[in-house]
Amino acid sequence: MAFRLNRLNDYVFKRIFGDPKNKDILLDFLNSIILTDERGPLTEIELEDREIDPEFLGDKAARLDILATASDGTKINIEVQLVNLGGHEKRALFYWARLYSGQLAAGEAYRTLGPVIVVNVVNFEFLPDSSRYHQAFLLLEHETGRPLTRDCEIHFLEVPKYRRVRRPPKTQLDFWLTYLSNVQGKVLEELAMVVPAIRKALTVEEIFAQDKRERYWYELREKGLRDLASIDAIAKENLEKGLAQGRQEGRQEGRQEGRQKGRQEGLQEGRQKGLQEGRHEKATEIALRLLNRGFSAAAAAEATGLSPEEIEALRPSLSGSSGPGVAEPGAHPHRAARRASSPRRTTRKA
């Protein structure tokens, strides 16, 4: 069985694109990405020594990037990221700022600063717009879109978005993203026929795969990347569990708080309702007494605060409702009857 490389393994990527002997591969790849409307395509490039001690390839935090300088002084940084650890926009801007400011020695004028281009090849999706697998960012004026400077150019290539494209590759970048998608067989053969730089990249792959030492470092790097992916997966799982537990505890606390609040509101409402009912009952009792003593309904309503309709509704409950003689609540019936039947005495002044 043929040894199949993961072309997004940053160690392999660096061996294919970052070797000075393969500058033609790198130039073809970069010219399919960078904006060439003002500066034109790259024709010459010098790679800077960014070798890493192979012993650190198993370190999940090791950063294997490619740094090059074009003939016009433009700095270009290329990095492959396989695991979504977050903060990619800030990470890219940080590396751009470090490379940009690093050009200036003490006492040099700012006008000597050259452009910096950062290219991020990522094996995950994180930017909006699911159909745009290549997005380029510049420093632009908000309303007119006029660039402040062309010194800042940051690219993101989201390989999984390209894999969902259901059409043959059209552009040079499409060819390269098809290659980086780890295609094999007939598709790969067709790529090699169309793009000479990809054909040379496949030759580099074959030489790499036959070198046992290189394959050892490759496997070591794969392990480091798998460890990083595992840590990321565990972190996300723990985060999900933490969020679920937090939601559960929040619901329980919410229910407890709701029950407590409900009890408090219930007690308050009960006390309020009880007071209202008590006042109404007392007013009804007073109204009955007034009616029993012969006061009019209007007078009873005014004295108790009950409505005339409520007063009239009390009349059927009066004993002996056909006339006076109804005993007051708690009063002796015979005395009440005598008081009711006794004529009023009037005293005239002489």
pLDDT digits (tens, 9 = 90+) for 104-142: 988 899 999 999 999 999 999 999 988 899 999 999 999
Q: What is the pTM of this model?
A: 0.65
Query: Would you say residue 252 lies in a domain?
Result: no
Query: Would you say residue 342 lies in a domain?
Result: no
* For residue 341, pLDDT beyond 50: no
Percent of the chain with pLDDT over 70: 81
Query: Would you say residue 310 lies in a domain?
Result: no
Q: What is the pLDDT of residue 320?
A: 53
Query: Would you say residue 206 lies in a domain?
Result: yes
What mean pLDDT do residues 26-40 have?
90
Query: Would you say residue 122 lies in a domain?
Result: yes
Q: Whole-angstrom Cα distance, residue 147 to residue 142?
A: 9
Query: Would you say residue 132 lies in a domain?
Result: yes
Structurally, how many domains does the chain consist of? Answer: 1
Query: Would you say residue 274 lies in a domain?
Result: no
Domain residues for the domain of 183 are 10-210
What mean pLDDT do residues 15-34 have?
96
Query: Would you say residue 74 lies in a domain?
Result: yes
